Chain A
Amino acid sequence: MNHAIETLKLNRTFKIKKAKDKPAPSFITALEEVNLTINKGELFGLLGPNGAGKTTLIKILCTLLLPTSGTALVDGVDVVKNPALVRRRINMVSGGEHSGYGILNVRENLWMFSQFYGVPKKIAYERIDTLLKLFGLDEFAKTRIGKLSTGMRQKMNVIRGFVSDPEILFFDEPTLGLDVQIAREVRKYIANWVKNNSQKTVLLTTHYMAEADELCDRIAIIDHGKVIACDSPSNLKKLLRKETIVHIEINLTDENFEHFSQLPGVKKFALEHKHNIGRTELKFILENDSAISQVTQALSSNGSKIISLSKTDPSLEDVFVALVGRSLESEN
Chain B
Amino acid sequence: MKTDLKTNLKSIWARAYVRIVGANREPSWILSETVLPLLNTAAFVYVYKALRAPEEYIGFVILGGAMTAYWMNVLWSMASQFYWEKEMGNLELYLIAPISRMSILLGMAIGGIFYATLRAVVVFVFGSLIFRVNFFISGVVELFLIFILTMIALYGMGMFFASLFMLWGREAWHTSNLFQEPIYLLGGFFFPVKTLGYTVAMFASAIPISLGLDGMRQLCFKTGKTLGFLDVKIEILLLLGLSIFYIWISHYALLFMENLGKKQGRLTLKWQ
**In the assembled complex, A88 has its CB within 8 A of some CB on chain B:** yes
Asked whether A219 is an interface residue with its Cβ less than 8 Å from the other chain, the reply is no
**What residues of A have a CB within 8 angstroms of the CB of B90 in the complex?**
99-101
A8 close to chain B: CB less than 8 A: no
Judged by a CB distance under 8 angstroms, whether B93 is at the interface is yes
B97 touches A116 (CB 8 A): yes
**Nearest CB to that of B99 among chain A residues?**
A116
State the main secondary structure of chain B at its contact with A.
helix
Q: Counting CB contacts under 8 A, is A90 at the interface?
A: yes
Q: What is the number of residues of chain A that contact chain B, defined by CB distance less than 8 Å? A: 31
Residue A63, interface by CB 8 Å: yes
The smallest beta-carbon distance between A26 and chain B, in angstroms, is: 15
Q: Do A91 and B96 have beta carbons less than 8 Å apart?
A: yes
Greatest chain B CB density within 10 A among A65, A94, A104, A116 is at A116
The answer to whether B10 touches A118, judged by C-beta atoms less than 8 angstroms apart, is: yes
Instruction: Chain A residues near B48: list those with CB within 8 A.
Output: none
For B262, the chain A residues whose CB sits under 8 A away are 63-66
B7 touches which of A97, A112, A117 (Cβ 8 Å): A117
Contact present for B96 and A62 (CB under 8 Å)? yes
Judge if A210 is at the interface, Cβ distance under 8 Å.
no
Nearest chain B CB to A207 CB, angstrom units: 15
Interface residues of A in 43-92 (CB under 8 A from B): 55, 59, 62-66, 84, 87-88, 90-92
Q: Which of A15, A97, A112, A115 contacts B89 (CB 8 A)?
A: A97
Contact A87-B14, Cβ < 8 Å, known A64-B262, A99-B89: no
- B185 CB, min distance to chain A CBs, angstroms: 34
**What per-residue 1/0 map shows which CB atoms of A101-114 lie under 8 Å from chain B?**
10110001001110
Give the nearest-CB partner of A68 in chain B: B263
Decide: A63 near B14, CB < 8 A? Known: A99-B90, A116-B7: no
Bound together, the chains give a CA A111 to CA B18 distance in angstroms of: 11
Contact B13 A64 (CB under 8 A): no
How far apart are B76's CB and chain A's nearest CB, in angstroms? Answer: 17
A195 at the interface (CB under 8 A from B): no
Contact yes or no, B95 A64, CB < 8 A: yes
Q: Does residue A98 face the partner (Cβ distance < 8 Å to B)?
A: yes
List chain A residues, Cβ under 8 A from B268. 59, 64-65
Task: Output the nearest chain A residue to B263 by Cβ-Cβ distance.
Answer: A66
Contacts of B88 in A (CB 8 A): 98-99
Contact check: which of B11, B21, B97 meets A108 at CB < 8 Å? B21
Is B98 an interface position by the 8 A CB rule?
yes
**A257 interfacial contact with B, CB 8 Å:** no
User: Does A104 contact B21, Cβ atoms closer than 8 Å?
Assistant: yes
Q: Report whether A115 and B95 are in contact in the complex, using a CB–CB cutoff of 8 Å.
A: no
Is B92 on the interface with A (CB-CB < 8 A)?
Answer: yes
Q: Complex Cα distance A92/B263, Å?
A: 20
With beta carbons under 8 angstroms apart, the residue of A63, A97, A103, A113 that contacts B272 is A97
Given A65-B267, A103-B21; A117-B272 close (CB under 8 Å): no
Q: Is B95's CB under 8 angstroms from A63's CB?
A: yes
CB pair A115 B265 closer than 8 Å: no
Say yes or no: B272 contacts A99, CB within 8 Å.
no
Closest chain-A Cβ to B86's Cβ sits at a distance in Å of 11
Within 8 Å CB of A118, what residues of B?
Answer: 3, 6-7, 10-11, 98
Minimum Cβ distance to chain A for residue B145 (Å)? 32
What is the CA–CA distance of A103 and B27 in the complex, to the nearest angstrom? 12
Q: How far is the CA of A117 from the CA of B11 in the complex (A)?
A: 8
State in angstroms the CA–CA spacing of A308 and B3 once bound together. 63
Q: What chain A residues lie within 8 Å of B6 (beta carbons)? A: 118
Asked if B25 is at the interface (CB within 8 A of a chain A CB), the reply is: yes
Q: A63-B95, A118-B10 are in contact. List 6 more A-B contacts (CB 8 A).
A: A14-B265, A64-B262, A66-B262, A103-B21, A108-B17, A113-B93
